[in-house]
């Protein structure tokens, strides 16, 4: 299976703290994307980082990519209770369909 793994599986922090989630994958990629899913809902696209990029920022989000280690991290700074959700990385490995392969996910709980 190409499915990536994320750690930690679950993370509980206080409001204002930073949250870091890690994603590892198995085969070479075209790009890696991070998504957020609130409980029982659809997915929201957060950020995309290409294989030739090492770091990307979007608001309070910072994503890094290390293709030599086949890993990525998502940092959420100054977390808020509203950031409570599951976060998934998804990799695109090329091919005609550019399909997404999702990681196992991290459940983030931000305590007010």
Partner 1 sequence: GAVVSQHPSWVICKSGTSVKIECRSLDFQATTMFWYRQFPKQSLMLMATSNEGSKATYEQGVEKDKFLINHASLTLSTLTVTSAHPEDSSFYICSARDRQGSQETQYFGPGTRLLVL
Closest distance to partner 1 from the beta carbon of 92 (Å):
7
Query: Can residue 22 be called a binding residue for partner 1 (CB under 8 A)?
Result: no
Q: What CA dihedral angle connects 20, 82, 38 and 107, to 10 degrees?
A: 30
Closest distance to partner 1 from the beta carbon of 87 (Å):
11
Q: What CA dihedral angle connects 30, 92, 61 and 65, to 10 degrees?
A: -40
How far apart CA 57 and CA 64 sit, in angstroms, is 9
Q: Interior CA angle at 59 toward 91 and 64, to 5°?
A: 40
Residue placing its CB nearer to partner 1 in the complex, 20 or 104: 104
Residue placing its CB nearer to partner 1 in the complex, 62 or 102: 102
Near partner 1 in 29-88, by CB under 8 A? 30-31, 33, 35, 40-45, 48, 88
Q: Which two tokens stand for residue 62?
A: 């910072």
How many residues sit in the footprint of partner 1 (CB under 8 A)? 24
Partners of 43 in the beta sheet? 37
Query: Can residue 97 be called a binding residue for partner 1 (CB under 8 A)?
Result: yes
Residues that bind partner 1 (CB under 8 A): 3, 30-31, 33, 35, 40-45, 48, 88, 92, 97-105, 107
């Amino acid at each position: 299976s190409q499915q990536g793994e994320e750690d930690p599986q679950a993370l509980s922090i206080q409001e204002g703290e930073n949250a870091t989630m890690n994603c590892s994958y198995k085969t070479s990629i075209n790009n890696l994307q991070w998504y957020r899913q609130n409980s029982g809902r659809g997915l929201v696209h957060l950020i995309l980082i290409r294989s030739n990029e090492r770091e990307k920022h979007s608001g309070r989000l910072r994503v890094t990519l290390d293709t030599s280690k086949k890993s990525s991290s998502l940092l959420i700074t100054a977390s808020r209770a509203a950031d409570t959700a599951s976060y998934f990385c998804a990799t695109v490995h090329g091919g005609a369909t550019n399909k997404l392969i999702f990681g196992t996910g991290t459940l983030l709980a931000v305590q007010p």
